[in-house]
Amino acid sequence: MAGLMAGFGRYTHAIVRGTPESLAKGALRSSQAEVDVTIAQREHDAYVHVLRTTLGLEILELPADETLPDCVFVEDAAVVCGDTALITRPGAESRRGETEAMKGALKELNLNVVEMTDESATLEGGDVLFTGREFFVGLSKRTNQRGAEILADAFKDYAVSTVPVSEGLHLKSFCSMGGPGLIIIGSSEPAQKALKIMQQMSDHRYDKLTVPDDLAANCIYMNLPNKGHVLLHCTSEEFPESVKVFEKLKDHMLIPVSNMEKRKVDGALTCCSVLINKKANN
């Protein structure tokens, strides 16, 4: 056992879920954009392909559920850290059903599954930023204080700090981890403000990588054997300026992944998978 907080970014498994046809019309979104489900599905396939083939993760793919238009965004349904998995209670009522399949999958992986039964609590995984040393939980439209408290209860080893999210859907709509101690942050004022809060709340020092586009700040970082630092980020078609910033990360294996269609329904890269490190916990 590597011990507490060792191996940040090390993953062996990923849980993903198919894209339902209902996504086009049923998925929640902050804009009025039209979504082409076919393109979205193609993007998703490419995404899973990267995880499975390029990165060698073991993929657990849940079937899409047409009654749950947002079900492809599995991240919001669970928070996994170490071998503990917290089944969330999404703030959007239409998404509450997504947790059932997720719970089953997590139990199948022999994780300690903790459920959020408190009726007053809401939490979506998109509001949870795990830095390797601590959690930041965005208090947003989808996540409330009580949800954060339950998360803190589930992961007692770690400090859990709350960060108000005034704009954007989730905390991770404008930030994510780009490495151990490296926070990728959007350049908007709310994003920068949130970063300041996080820095103030933390006992640890974080470097920041500021990208021009908030949405581009959502990346997936992994630290994989034989591959080292891996960063899945947006494509240059989507955010050319931000990609230039990523390209400065010399130590990282950079993998652009297109997410154009899903972004129309506020789906970011991290939203589409739940990453798990099984071996570390055995």
Active site members: 170, 271
User: Minimum distance from CB of 99 to other proteins (Å)?
Assistant: 21
The first and second tokens of residue 157, run together, are 């080893």
**Pick 161 or 218: Cβ nearer other proteins:** 161
- Count of alpha carbons within 13 angstroms of residue 67, beta-carbon side: 7
Residue 214, CA distances (Å) to 53, 131, 170 in order: 28, 18, 11
User: Minimum distance from CB of 119 to other proteins (Å)?
Assistant: 17
Query: Which one of residues 162, 176, 218, 259 is an interface residue with other proteins (CB under 8 A)?
Result: 162
**Pick 36 or 149: Cβ nearer other proteins:** 149
Measured CA to CA, the distance from residue 147 to residue 229 in angstroms comes to: 31
Question: Per CB under 8 A, which region of 119-127, 160-168, 222-230, 241-249 contacts other proteins?
Answer: 160-168
Q: Which residues contact 167 (CB under 8 A, 6 or more apart)?
A: 188, 190
Contact call for residues 91 and 141 (beta carbons, < 8 A): yes
Residues 4-23, one symbol each (x = binds other proteins by CB under 8 A, - = not), give: xx------------------
**Pick 27 or 81: Cβ nearer other proteins:** 81
- Find the binding residues for other proteins in span 127-156 (CB under 8 A): 133-134, 137, 145, 148-149, 152-153, 155-156
Q: Does 201 bind other proteins (CB under 8 A)?
A: yes
The first and second tokens of residue 240, run together, are 């050319």
Strand, coil or helix: 162: strand
Query: Which one of residues 74, 77, 160, 195 is an interface residue with other proteins (CB under 8 A)?
Result: 160
**Pick 160 or 257: Cβ nearer other proteins:** 160
The first and second tokens of residue 273, run together, are 């998978």
Q: Which residues of 218-237 are buried (b: 16+ CB within 10 A; e: fewer)?
A: bbbbbbbeeeebbbbbbeee
Query: Which one of residues 32, 117, 200, 226 is an interface residue with other proteins (CB under 8 A)?
Result: 200
Measured CA to CA, the distance from residue 219 to residue 246 in angstroms comes to: 10
Residue 120, CA distances (Å) to 28, 144, 220, 231, 278 in order: 21, 9, 30, 36, 31
Contact call for residues 247 and 204 (beta carbons, < 8 A): no
Strand, coil or helix: 168: coil
How many positions of this chain bind other proteins (CB under 8 A)? 29
Q: Does 192 bind other proteins (CB under 8 A)?
A: no
Contact call for residues 89 and 116 (beta carbons, < 8 A): yes
Question: Per CB under 8 A, which region of 22-30, 78-86, 176-184, 266-274 contacts other proteins?
Answer: 78-86
User: Minimum distance from CB of 162 to other proteins (Å)?
Assistant: 5
Strand, coil or helix: 97: coil
Q: Does 117 bind other proteins (CB under 8 A)?
A: no
Residues 203-232, one symbol each (x = binds other proteins by CB under 8 A, - = not), give: x-----------------------------
User: Minimum distance from CB of 138 to other proteins (Å)?
Assistant: 12
Measured CA to CA, the distance from residue 102 to residue 78 in angstroms comes to: 7
> Which spans of this chain sit near other proteins (rule: CB under 8 A)?
1, 3-5, 82-84, 112, 133-134, 137, 145, 148-149, 152-153, 155-162, 200-203, 281
